[in-house]
A = this chain, B = another copy of it.
Amino acid sequence: MSEIRRDPVIGRWVIIAPERAARPDPNLWRQVERQPAPCVFCSGQEALDPTEISAIRTPGTVPNSPGWQVRVLPNKYPVLRIEGKLSREGVGMFDVMSGVGAHEVIVETPEHSIELADLPEAHIAGVARTYRERMRDLGGDDRFKYVLIFKNQGYLAGASISHPHSQLIATPVTPTRVKEELAGAAKYYDFKRRCVFCDIIRQETLLTRERLVFENDAFAVISPFAARVPYETWIVPKSHNCDFTSIRDADCGDLAQALKHILLRLRTLLQDPPLNYLIHTAPFRRPRPGYWATIQNDYHWHLEVIPRITRAAGFEEGSGFYINPVSPEDAAELLRKVQAEPVEDDTPALGPQNGSAEPIEDQA
């Protein structure tokens, strides 16, 4: 018997229908070969790129040349552009805003053929610190309300370049999905005087553990109770914190460990599925007095990993319901059990010493 479950954060209903579970079909996401090296994101190809925004580099190397380990570039084909003012106008009965924003690429490694999951934890921690630094920097621009960090891995998850990279888009409005989470979390807090994510963490690490995939000092990795798609996984900080930009360097290490863990397991279990991940954090701006104080109490940043092994269909689009054929409890159990090993790693160590937390030099 299937179940309809309600996401406790934004009130979204999900049908959990394990009877429909089908084996994931690798034919769906295998039709595009990886591109050959070197590509524009490879070390040595810097002359082909726009001017770099920031990088983690070996001391003594100069911007826009080799010697980097993580590198941030403007997107050559931005969805939103950094130039111009935010303007709103009516077009007949309709409403339009100008497309001002920022769209950047975070190249995660100079190596073309490795995946993020195969990099050393210290290197992945450098990627996480880069996310933090870019978000902090863009938060200084008054026009932006939000920065969404995300990764598209695999063709059917939206990637068009196979060299490992993440992206960010800064937007002049807080995205709907984030607003829905903020509103849902605020409602829960109003009723319970507790953060809904803190309650989820307690439920999943202390009470049942059946949806817990992994944990370390700072993070719990869970299959959410109302997962939208098979093997959806959240990485949630155990300590209450609404704001990803306040993450400490040490916690970036724990985040890297958790992320590497789940990415390796998904790769082994689902045969290299296309996937997205994204970070949900509090918006920058404070539209009214007390807004920030409220968000600090009731919101809780987290990272969502979303494998793309099912297909869009008319029912989901028309209803806003999601149909998930794998129960989160089964997903968590399979993810706990699978034996996953990284591919042999020959990446150069991050920075001058292996794993050192080299500060990011921002040339923007």
Contact = CB atoms under 8 A, between A and B. Distances in A.
A138 interface: no
Interface stretch (A63-71, A110-118, A128-136, A147-155): A147-155
Interface in A304-335: 304, 306, 308, 311-315, 317-321, 323
Nearest to A308: B312
Nearest to A204: B92
Contacts of A311: 155-158
- From A31, A226, A321, residue with most partner B Cβ within 10 Å: A321
A339 interface: no
A167 interface: yes
Contacts of A312: 156-158, 276, 308, 312
Given A2-B79, A31-B27, A313 B93 contact: no
B13 A173 contact: yes
A19 B280 CA distance: 28
Interface residues of A, number: 77
Interface in A1-28: 1-6, 8, 11-13, 15-17, 19-20, 27-28
A247 interface: no
A223 to B, nearest CB: 13
A171 interface: yes
Contacts of A32: 27
A40 interface: no
A278 interface: yes
Contact of A96 (B6, B81, B91): B6
Contacts of A141: none
Contacts of A151: 314
Contacts of A225: 91, 94
A196 to B, nearest CB: 8
A97 interface: yes
A344 interface: no
Contacts of A349: none
A198 B79 CA distance: 32
A99 B4 contact: yes
A158 B94 contact: no
A93 B13 contact: no
Interface stretch (A174-182, A214-222, A262-270): A174-182
Nearest to A228: B317
A345 interface: no
Given A93-B203, A203-B93, A98 B4 contact: yes
B308 A1 contact: no
A177 B321 CA distance: 8
B148 A3 contact: no
A169 interface: yes
Given A2-B99, A175-B318, A277-B314, 11 more contacts: A8-B94, A27-B32, A79-B323, A151-B314, A156-B312, A157-B312, A157-B314, A158-B311, A177-B320, A178-B318, A308-B312
16 contacts: A1-B84, A3-B99, A4-B173, A13-B175, A20-B77, A79-B315, A92-B208, A93-B203, A150-B314, A150-B315, A150-B317, A152-B313, A171-B319, A175-B319, A280-B318, A312-B312
User: 8 nearest interchain CB pairs?
Assistant: A158-B313, A150-B314, A175-B319, A278-B318, A176-B320, A276-B314, A2-B99, A177-B320
